[in-house]
Amino acid sequence: MLPEIGQFTLILACVLSFLQMVYPLYGVQTGHQGAIRSARILTILQFVAVAFSFAILAYSFLINDFTIGYIATNSNSAMPWYFRLSAVWGAHEGSLLLWVFLLSGWSIAVALMSKRLPIESVARVLAVLGLLSFGFYLFVILTSNPFDRTLPYFPIDGRDLNPLLQDFGLVIHPPMLYMGYVGFSVAFAFAIAALLEGRLDSAWAKWSRPWTMAAWVFLTVGIALGSWWAYYELGWGGWWFWDPVENASFMPWLAGTALIHSLAVSEKRGVFKSWTVLLALSAFSLSLLGTFLVRSGVLVSVHAFASDPTRGLFILGFLVLVIGGSLLLYAIQASKVKSRGRYELASRESMLLINNILLIAALIVVLLGTLLPLVHKEIGLGSISIGEPFFNRMFTILIVPFALFLGVGSLFRWKRQQLNDLKKPLSLILILSVLSTVAFLFIFAPFLTWLAVLGTFLGFWIIVAVVYEIYLRSTHRHAFSKGLMKLGNSHWAMSLGHLGLAVIIIGITMTQNFSIEKDVKLAVGDHITFEHYDFHFDQVDALNGPNYTGTVGIFTVKQDQKQIAVMKAEKRLYTVQRMPMTEAAIDAGITRDLYIAMGEQLPDGAWAVRIYYKPFIRWIWLGPLIMAFGGILMMCDRRYRSKKENADQDTITADKEGTQNA
Amino acid sequence: MNPRRKKRLLITSSLIAGLSLAIGLTLYALQQNIDLFYTPNEILNGKNETGAKPEIGQRLRIGGMVLNGSVQRDPESLKVSFDLIDNKAGQVTVYFDGILPDLFREGQGIVAQGVLKSTNSVDAFEVLAKHDEEYMPPEVADALKGMEHLKTESELAK
């Protein structure tokens, strides 16, 4: 009975989202106040309905209701309760339900937290979100219903969740990533609403900025979590594979990063507006494209679920409709947008323009590398794959100007910068960053490569520039410590975002250049030594988990005769699916990770073992966390919080700024 | 030209220059990093679509089924070799030094990435096996179409 109720509320949510799309638009067109005000109520009702559906599916997973086909295929009564819960989004149907649930979550957040916006604007935004929800509800209900029953012959137990996904990383990675993907729908809806209205002013940029930042923060954390999960769970110690599905999440991130920078310019200076709108449309379109690539099964990847052509076709149709429709609207309306502000070539506006160009170039590289194999195959030239070296080389080239301009960019003034004034700070930054690079490499690098020197220098260039800029700003009017306190949240957000990137660059540089990876054959009692670490293979024990059996290899690690860690690398066999899994043992540290993964047992009883030394790999995930923290600070900035000041005042002050700057 | 137009011209031209530079570099890098996919038969007799044979030393991907009983290990190290077959007459030996994936089995479809060593052998630097029971790379599935009897034999052997 319960699943039928879940199905019913899902259909109810679908109908409500249709109304949420139609009524407010009708109201705005005709000036009917009741219809305009219905937007908020319909959004709330829609959220309640879909939340109910989602809760029922989660509950059915918890009580092991194997009469539901989706649960029978993706769960098992021997699984611990938290994995049964996360199995809700472990496969296609449930993850789509999560998608629509989060979309309605963002919608209700917009409905409740935009009290100071004009009600017509809110109605338009909610209507666009209603349209998107409606499309996805139809998709779920027509092609991927999670509530389909297996009756009358239901299985006694489920077929278990793919063991790769039975892991803490999967409990949080997909919801985070989806929050990011779906979150760009809000920026998209704001952009479409503004285009419909034909009014794109600084107030628009100001409203959509915190929303865009929130989505970006989620996406950043989601991608970092995915990378971390791949590192410890896939068992070969890589942190990014340029897998098409990773690319599918990286593309909206690149567009989103360009968008948050371009929004800043639009808000503060009133320029780049039509470009910003285009970016807002692309960020969400790329999220949709990513969904299409992952869900339709056209791609070969770790994430590919069993493919189904009708699903692919449906998303493709939706994709064409949304992207085509929004671009058409853009083509018609964007010419009405006038940017008033002026700026010289040497100005912060230009620096941010360069940032955007480089980010879009990176986006094109990823897009090309992801889609080319598809196109190549479809036009009958045979299957190809584009290897990691392509992406690595292109990003190595792109990151150099990106990091250099990023370092100096925040020193530039808006509108106009006298280049002569920059000579002194730039030479100071150059000297300090060279010195830091030399010191850092002297301490941590076992030998030198060109790329290591380059990467470390770029990282320190950014760090020194950021610190110097904070120093300059805080001593501008006050004494240093007092000025430091006076810096706004937005300023800290920018500095932290840039520092995060520097940390990532240094992490990647060190990991890629100085990792030691040994695949060795070890019998119990053997040991191997490198980098002052001595790995001793002590013993092999049997392993008994709730839904798996296996063996665990125990290693003692000594450094200079001192024991520093006991590492237990597991080899599991999940009994239901007869699927072997490698659980790596990791001794984590801020400057290095030690990583042991058991391979297969060889015919003579010895084991194939991977032993890795990965310097600074934690920095690759520390960086995104710093970035995300910066983003959160920016959302908490005072000017996005104050509730008293109403929207009209926003517009007036924005206009005033605009005229002053013109 | 007034300064505003001049600025626009400068920005537009730098945009175009930057983009074309990016695209040029991308295409150049692409050319060197495209790995074509071959079945064992295609390595011996040329691609089905174009008839082109791979050259020795070329980077490529090969997909096929691991021939039963062909896996040979070096007793001292992790070096291993095995033969890949497909639904035609192809048979190619793959050499690999490293740890095979968890799901590597005789009688199973796999993909290897590496360099063509001789006309009928490949030096692999990466071996991928399918991720779960239902999933198989479509290229490999194509190469193995109609080979069900072989698979059942291998299952009987277990």
The CB density around residue B150, as the number of other CB atoms within 10 Å, is 16
**Chain B residue at shortest CA distance from A518:** B98
Instruction: Say what the pLDDT of residue B154 is.
Output: 37
Counting the structural domains of chain B, the total is 2
Instruction: Give dist(CA A2, CA A6) in Å, integer.
Output: 6
Instruction: Say what the pLDDT of residue B130 is.
Output: 64
B145 and B75 assigned to the same domain = yes
Instruction: Say what the pLDDT of residue A300 is.
Output: 52
Instruction: Say what the pLDDT of residue A308 is.
Output: 63
pLDDT over 70 at A660, yes or no = no
Residue A641 located in a structural domain? no
Residue A501 located in a structural domain? yes
Q: Which residue do the tokens 């009469």 mark?
A: A67
A537 and A581 assigned to the same domain = yes
B138 and B115 assigned to the same domain = yes
* Beta carbons of A306 and B47 less than 8 Å apart: no
| Mean per-residue pLDDT, A514-526 | 90
- pLDDT greater at residue A314 or residue B83: B83
| Mean per-residue pLDDT, A151-180 | 84
- Residue of A275, A364, A365, A383 to mutate, testing the B interface (most B Cβ within 10 Å of its Cβ): A383
Question: How do residues A91-111 score in pLDDT, each as one tens digit?
Answer: 888 989 999 999 999 999 999
Instruction: For residue A506, give Cα distances in angstroms to A620, A623, A631, B82, B87.
Output: 8, 9, 21, 40, 49
- Residues within 8 A of B (CB atoms), A 410-469 only: none
pLDDT over 80 at B7, yes or no = no
Instruction: Say what the pLDDT of residue A211 is.
Output: 93
Helices (H) and strands (E) in chain A, counts: 20, 10
* Nearest Cα residue to A546 out of A48, A101, A79: A79
Residue A205 located in a structural domain? no
B24 and B54 assigned to the same domain = no
Residue A571 located in a structural domain? yes
What residues in A contact B33, CB-CB < 8 Å? 386-387, 389-390, 393
What residues in A contact B75, CB-CB < 8 Å? 604
* Nearest Cα residue to A213 out of A177, A186, A173: A186
B57 and B135 assigned to the same domain = yes
Instruction: Say what the pLDDT of residue A262 is.
Output: 92
What residues in A contact B133, CB-CB < 8 Å? 577, 579
* Nearest Cα residue to A358 out of B95, B8, B158, B14: B14
Question: How do residues A450-462 score in pLDDT, each as one tens digit?
Answer: 999 999 999 999 9
Q: Are A429 and A464 in contact (CB under 8 A)?
A: yes
Instruction: Say what the pLDDT of residue A297 is.
Output: 61
Written as one letter, the residue type at B53 is K
H or E element at residue A1: none
B12 and B46 assigned to the same domain = no
% of chain B at pLDDT higher than 70: 81
* Nearest Cα residue to A163 out of A87, A102, A109: A87
The pLDDT-based confidence of B158 (bands split at 50, 70, 90) is very low
Instruction: Give dist(CA A75, CA A66) in Å, integer.
Output: 8
% of chain B at pLDDT higher than 90: 10
Question: DSSP character for A336?
Answer: G
A479 and A530 assigned to the same domain = no
Instruction: Give dist(CA A411, CA A321) in Å, integer.
Output: 43
Phi, psi of A522, rounded to the nearest 5 degrees: -130, 135
* Nearest Cα residue to A254 out of A402, A399, A363, A391: A363
Q: Which residue do the tokens 């930042």 mark?
A: A213
Q: Are A343 and A271 in contact (CB under 8 A)?
A: yes
Instruction: Say what the pLDDT of residue B139 is.
Output: 66
A462 and A528 assigned to the same domain = no
A380 CB within 8 Å of a chain B CB:
yes
Instruction: Say what the pLDDT of residue B88 is.
Output: 80
B5 and B60 assigned to the same domain = no
Instruction: Say what the pLDDT of residue B50 is.
Output: 75
B87 and B105 assigned to the same domain = yes
The HSE-up count of residue A216 (CA atoms within 13 Å, CB side) is: 31
- Both tokens of B38, joined, read 């071959």
What residues in B contact A599, CB-CB < 8 Å? 78, 99-100
Question: How do residues A393-420 score in pLDDT, each as one tens digit?
Answer: 889 989 999 999 998 888 888 878 778 8
Least confident range of A28-32, A154-158, A270-274, A380-384: A380-384
What are the E-state strand segments in chain B? Answer: 34-38, 59-66, 72-73, 79-85, 91-97, 109-118, 121-129
The CB density around residue A544, as the number of other CB atoms within 10 Å, is 7
A501 and A599 assigned to the same domain = no
Question: How do residues A39-82 score in pLDDT, each as one tens digit?
Answer: 999 999 999 999 999 999 999 999 999 999 999 988 888 888 99
Instruction: Say what the pLDDT of residue A310 is.
Output: 73
How many beta-carbon contacts under 8 Å exist across A and B? 111
**Chain A residue at shortest CA distance from B103:** A580
pLDDT over 50 at A648, yes or no = no
What residues in A contact B103, CB-CB < 8 Å? 579-580
The pLDDT-based confidence of A537 (bands split at 50, 70, 90) is very high
Question: DSSP character for A392?
Answer: H
Beta bridge partners of residue A553, listed in sequence order: A540, A569
Instruction: Give dist(CA A570, CA A593) in Å, integer.
Output: 17
Q: Are A324 and A281 in contact (CB under 8 A)?
A: no
Instruction: Say what the pLDDT of residue A488 is.
Output: 83
Across A151-155, A588-592, B43-47, which has the greatest mean pLDDT?
A588-592
B63 and B107 assigned to the same domain = yes
The pairs formed by A636-643 with CB atoms below 8 angstroms and a separation of 24 or more are A636/A489, A637/A488, A637/A489, A637/A490, A637/A493, A638/A488, A638/A489, A639/A206, A640/A206, A640/A209, A640/A210, A643/A115, A643/A116
* Beta carbons of A385 and B135 less than 8 Å apart: no
User: Would you give the distance in Å from CA A330 to the centre of its chain?
Assistant: 26
For chain B, how far is it from start to end, CA to CA, in angstroms?
A: 82
A624 and A563 assigned to the same domain = no
Q: How far is A520 from chain B (nearest CA, A)?
A: 7
Least confident range of A431-435, A556-560, B19-23, B56-60: B19-23
Instruction: Say what the pLDDT of residue B152 is.
Output: 36
Instruction: Give dist(CA A124, CA A189) in Å, integer.
Output: 8
% of chain A at pLDDT higher than 70: 94
% of chain A at pLDDT higher than 90: 48
pLDDT over 90 at A602, yes or no = no
A35 and A151 assigned to the same domain = yes
Q: How does A403-431 read in b/e, with b if 16+ C-beta sit within 10 Å?
A: bbbbbbbbbbeebebeeeebeebbeebee
B87 and B100 assigned to the same domain = yes
What is the overall mean pLDDT for chain B? 78
B11 and B57 assigned to the same domain = no
- pLDDT greater at residue A291 or residue B68: B68
Structural domain containing residue B29:
1-33
| Mean per-residue pLDDT, A624-652 | 71
A57 and A147 assigned to the same domain = yes
Instruction: Say what the pLDDT of residue A464 is.
Output: 95
| DSSP one-letter string for A217-274 | HHHHHHHHHHHHHHHHHSSS--S----HHHHHHHHHHHHHHHHHHHHHHHHHHS-SHH
What residues in B contact A389, CB-CB < 8 Å? 29, 32-33
Q: 3-state DSSP: chain A helix, strand, coil percent, rounded to 5? A: 65, 10, 20
The CB density around residue A100, as the number of other CB atoms within 10 Å, is 27
What residues in B contact A382, CB-CB < 8 Å? 36-37, 47-50
Question: How do residues A337-395 score in pLDDT, each as one tens digit?
Answer: 766 677 777 888 889 998 998 999 899 889 988 888 888 777 777 778 887 888 998 89
A345 CB within 8 Å of a chain B CB:
yes
Q: Are A169 and A583 in contact (CB under 8 A)?
A: no
Instruction: Say what the pLDDT of residue A435 is.
Output: 96
Helices (H) and strands (E) in chain B, counts: 4, 7
CATH number assigned to the domain comprising residue B89: 2.40.50.140
Domain boundary among A166, A191, A225: A166
Instruction: Say what the pLDDT of residue A651 is.
Output: 43
Q: How does A51-75 read in b/e, with b if 16+ C-beta sit within 10 Å?
A: bbbbebbbebbeebbbebbbbbbbb
**Using N-to-C axis directions, what is the helix angle for A423-444 and A489-514, rounded to 10°?**
40
Instruction: Give dist(CA A541, CA A552) in Å, integer.
Output: 5
Instruction: Give dist(CA A209, CA A224) in Å, integer.
Output: 22
Structural domain containing residue A570:
516-616
A103 and A149 assigned to the same domain = yes
- Both tokens of A108, joined, read 């209700």
A507 and A524 assigned to the same domain = no
pLDDT over 50 at B151, yes or no = no
Instruction: Give dist(CA A75, CA A18) in Å, integer.
Output: 33
pLDDT over 50 at A649, yes or no = no
What is the three-state SS of B97-127?
A: ECCCCCCCCCCCEEEEEEEEEECCEEEEEEE
| DSSP one-letter string for A102-113 | HHHHHHHHHHHH
pLDDT over 80 at A644, yes or no = no
* Nearest Cα residue to A133 out of A20, A57, A293, A37: A20
A478 and A561 assigned to the same domain = no
Question: DSSP character for A306?
Answer: P
Instruction: Say what the pLDDT of residue A280 is.
Output: 94
CATH number assigned to the domain comprising residue A79: 1.20.120
Question: How do residues A239-282 score in pLDDT, each as one tens digit?
Answer: 888 888 889 899 999 999 999 999 998 888 888 888 899 999 99
Question: DSSP character for A165?
Answer: G
| Mean per-residue pLDDT, B58-79 | 87
**Which member of B34, B78, B102 has the closest CB to residue A582?**
B102
pLDDT over 80 at B140, yes or no = no
pLDDT over 90 at A560, yes or no = no
B10 and B46 assigned to the same domain = no
Instruction: For residue A578, give Cα distances in angstroms to A544, B68, B132.
Output: 15, 20, 10
- Residues within 8 A of B (CB atoms), A 213-232 only: none
Instruction: Give dist(CA A174, CA A221) in Å, integer.
Output: 11
**Which member of B34, B77, B103 has the closest CB to residue A384?**
B34
* Beta carbons of B99 and A608 less than 8 Å apart: yes
| Mean per-residue pLDDT, B124-141 | 67
Counting the structural domains of chain A, the total is 3
Instruction: Say what the pLDDT of residue B155 is.
Output: 39
A505 and A539 assigned to the same domain = no
Instruction: Say what the pLDDT of residue A110 is.
Output: 93
- Both tokens of A319, joined, read 């994709």
Question: DSSP character for B145?
Answer: T
Q: How does A236-272 read in b/e, with b if 16+ C-beta sit within 10 Å?
A: bbebbbbbbbbbbbbbbbbbbbbbbbbbbbbbbbbbb
Residue A244 located in a structural domain? no
B68 and B118 assigned to the same domain = yes
A46 and A158 assigned to the same domain = yes
